[in-house]
Amino acid sequence: MRIETLAVHSGRAVDTATGAVTPPIHMSTTFQRAADGTYPQGYIYGRSGNPTRTLLEDCVRELEGGEAAAAFSSGMAAIMSVFQALSPGDHVIAPRDIYHGTTRLLREIMARWNLKTTFVDMTDLEEVRQAISDSTKLIFVETPSNPLLKITDISAVVDIAHQSGARCICDNTWATPVLQRPLTLGADLVVHSSTKYLGGHGDVTGGVVVSAREDDLFGKIRQIQQSGGAVPSPFDCWLTLRSIRTLPYRMRAHSENAVKVAEFLDGHPGVAEVFYPGLVSHPGHETARNQMNLFGGMLSCRVRGGKEEAFRVAAKTRLFTRATSLGSYESLIEHRASIEGPESRTPDDLLRLSVGLENAEDLIEDLEQALTG
Ligand SMILES: *Cc1c(COP(=O)(O)O)cnc(C)c1O
């Protein structure tokens, strides 16, 4: 089945008890045991499992083409579960250009339990190869990357990982399975912040790990979910599932709008540089064409005139709200370096745009008036 059909039909069944077409939200924290002490429906207690969560996990698993999935209360909890499934002394290779929360997790938290990380330019395959050591267990890919929209060749990094007995995980938050399916390119795991496009409406925080195989590593991830307890509420699962039904159509519109906005910014004298994989001039354009269906709704640009000017432009937009996060129906604009903190490597004149579902011409007119001053 194709992605639009999967998005509508996965993780959904008409309720046999009531005939309800839309799945109910099961809020119960506990489930009745049979007289002999067993659990005939498979559910025991809300932390270890919940029917609404199962539907969300089934849906994202099918969209990504995996064998197993685990839903979490945030994207970071999902990513953390993968790192915690490794052992102290293990080595991880991660990109320098990556969601800053993931960098922090590795540097400040996982380092304390002796998980070692080497940060590389993941688009430079030679640098990735050089970073491999005997204890390398995981290569972490994020493509397109945050905030510079770097494109990593997923299959090529998968090959490097597998040659050395390591696994490859891809943070697929920005692309979603609609634009890119890392497991079909050989990746072992996919992770999402469902707070972004999967949720799509700026009103639910969550994360999901999908595994190509129901193997030992996934068993550990499941154990961390159930015993660690960073589980999403049934209502959050239901909201995310409800939103995924329209994901393919939203991703198409986000991408179409972003192409237009990127082309506009690319030709504007007030803009020094545009980072968008859909532009032919982008160094990752060819790789993006090969592994993505569309180029997505995220882009960033460097404003001529430095930090002050970047702040001024962001402040003058009317349709773009100044806020962090991405993937919602409304457009957001953000001065990225100032949210990433003092250790940020992001240029000071960089604005990151999450292009929403408004009319592209309105968004372009808004940016035009903001840039003109
Ligand atoms: C937002 C984001 C995360 C973190 O997800 P939360 O839901 O905020 O915990 C991880 N990776 C990427 C690429 C993100 O954009």
Picking from 172, 176, 230, 179, the residue whose alpha carbon sits closest to that of residue 200 is 176
State how far the Cα of 167 lies from the Cα of 163, in Å rounded to an integer: 10
Could you tell me the distance, in angstroms and rounded to a whole number, from the CA of residue 372 to the centre of ligand 1?
Answer: 33
Spans in the chain with pLDDT lower than 70: none
pLDDT of 347-370, one tens digit each?
999 999 999 999 999 999 999 999
Residue 343 class from Cβ within 10 Å (0-12 exposed, 13-18 middle, 19+ buried)?
A: exposed
pLDDT at residue number 341: 84
Residue 325 class from Cβ within 10 Å (0-12 exposed, 13-18 middle, 19+ buried)?
A: middle
CA distance from start to end of the chain: 49
Could you tell me the distance, in angstroms and rounded to a whole number, from the CA of residue 325 to the centre of ligand 1?
Answer: 8
Could you say which of 53, 61, 97, 99 is catalytic? Answer: 99
Domains 3-244 and 249-372 belong to one CATH topology: no
The amino acid sitting at 362 is: D
Look at ligand 1, atom 1, and give the residue with the nearest C-alpha.
193
> Which ligand 1 atom lies nearest to the CA of residue 326?
15
State how far the Cα of 359 lies from the Cα of 323, in Å rounded to an integer: 20
SS3 95: strand
Q: Please state at what angle helix 360-372 crosses helix 306-316, rounded to 10 degrees.
A: 130
For the chain, domain boundaries: 3-244, 249-372
Could you say which of 90, 97, 153, 171 is catalytic? Answer: 171
State how far the Cα of 206 lies from the Cα of 198, in Å rounded to an integer: 9
Look at ligand 1, atom 4, and give the residue with the nearest C-alpha.
75
pLDDT at residue number 344: 86
What tokens were used for 150?
């770097």
Could you tell me the distance, in angstroms and rounded to a whole number, from the CA of residue 37 to the centre of ligand 1?
Answer: 41
Could you say which of 12, 47, 104, 260 is catalytic? Answer: 47
Structural contact between residues 208 and 58, judged by C-beta atoms closer than 8 angstroms? no
Residue 124: count other Cβ atoms within 10 Å of its Cβ: 13
Q: Look at the pTM and tell me if it is higher than 0.95.
A: yes
**CATH classification (class only), 249-372:** alpha beta
What tokens were used for 143?
């493509």
Could you tell me the distance, in angstroms and rounded to a whole number, from the CA of residue 326 to the centre of ligand 1?
Answer: 9
SS3 321: strand
pLDDT at residue number 27: 97
SS3 176: helix
φ/ψ of 93, rounded to 5, equals -110, 130
Is residue 99 among the annotated active site residues? yes
> Which ligand 1 atom lies nearest to the CA of residue 207?
7
Which stretch of DSSP H or E encloses residue 7? helix 3-9
Is residue 90 among the annotated active site residues? no
pLDDT at residue number 217: 98
State how far the Cα of 234 lies from the Cα of 56, in Å rounded to an integer: 10
- Find where tokens 């979910």 sit: 225
Q: How do beta strands 298-303 and 350-354 pair?
A: antiparallel
Could you tell me the distance, in angstroms and rounded to a whole number, from the CA of residue 373 to the centre of ligand 1?
Answer: 33
Is residue 196 among the annotated active site residues? yes
> Which ligand 1 atom lies nearest to the CA of residue 76?
9
pLDDT of 272-282, one tens digit each?
999 999 999 99
CATH code for the part of the protein at 3-244: 3.40.640.10
